Amino acid sequence: MAKDPERRDLFSGALDLMILHTLRVKPMHGYALVKHIKQASDDLLQIEEGSLYPALQRLLKEGLLESEEGISAKGRPTRIYRLTAAGVRQLEQDVSSFEKMFAGITRVLAVAQA
């Protein structure tokens, strides 16, 4: 099957950045995270469960998130994730790093077009 040229893999750390940022706004369960990222990106980004849940487990293990049992909007048991204080600090560092990287990429693209 040919790869869709409009779909690209996220750069390293992008998923973690989006998870941490989204959970800074409010705690939510995995499906709500996927839905929020898709809607906020105007359907440009689609996070697969096979990527999301390992990332959530890694962030939990690193102490950047915590979770608790909850009930979904449909009344089903679910796990609700929330950002920890360490997660807030990591998010701030990640945003700063992303902004620097984006500025560098923008400069390279500007030179390449000159």
Whether the pLDDT of residue 58 is over 60: the answer is yes
Average pLDDT over residues 5-23: 76
Q: What is the DSSP string of 1-63?
A: -PPPTT--PPPTTHHHHHHHHHHHH--EEHHHHHHHHHHHTTTS----HHHHHHHHHHHHHTT
DSSP state of 91: H
Query: Does residue 59 belong to any structural domain of this protein?
Result: yes
The answer to whether residue 52 sits within a structural domain is yes
Q: How far apart are the first and last CA of the chain?
A: 36
By residue range, what is the domain housing residue 102?
14-113
Asked whether residue 3 is domain-assigned, the answer is no
Average pLDDT over residues 62-75: 90
> How many distinct structural domains can be found in the chain?
1
Residue 51 belongs to some domain of the structure? yes
Whether residue 91 contacts residue 21, with contact meaning beta carbons closer than 8 Å, is answered with yes
State yes or no: pLDDT of 80 exceeds 60.
yes
| CATH number, domain containing residue 76 | 1.10.10.10
